[in-house]
Amino acid sequence: MDESTRREALGLAALLGAIALVGATPGPAAAQEQPKDQVDEKADRERVLACGMTEAEADCWEIVAKAAGKFFELPKLHPMDDHEVAHAIHIIQH
């Protein structure tokens, strides 16, 4: 079996974190603290740095996350847009 690289491990950690965030259901107090569409960028950055990313890697990760968010706000032109962009984002993250 091939050895995993640090970049692969970080990519997997980021993917699992994103899945956990999507599946998380905040309680009533958390819902009142922060609007649903607002992202805590500082907390996100701290999490990726804690996973072992460098400052430069965290900068790139943030920029890609913002670009993805902007893309998903656009009107859908084709049913596969979201799927294809999600794959492209994962490639960029790796």
In a domain, 50, yes or no: yes
Which tokens hold the place of 9? 């491990």
State the residue for tokens 């890609």.
64
pTM (two decimals):
0.54
User: Which of 60-86 are b and which e, b meaning 16 or more Cβ less than 10 Å from the residue's Cβ?
Assistant: ebeeebeebeeeeeeeeeeeeeeeeee
Q: Domain range holding 91? A: 38-94
Q: How many domains does the chain have?
A: 1
- Give the pLDDT confidence of 19-57 residue by residue, as tens digits: 655 555 555 555 455 555 677 888 988 998 999 999 999
Q: Which has the minimum average pLDDT: 1-10, 18-27, 75-84?
A: 18-27
In a domain, 69, yes or no: yes
Instruction: Round the average pLDDT of the chain to a whole number and report it.
Output: 78
In a domain, 88, yes or no: yes
In a domain, 15, yes or no: no
In a domain, 92, yes or no: yes
In a domain, 76, yes or no: yes
In a domain, 67, yes or no: yes
Q: Under a CB-based contact definition with an 8 Å cutoff, are residues 54 and 60 in contact?
A: no
In a domain, 33, yes or no: no
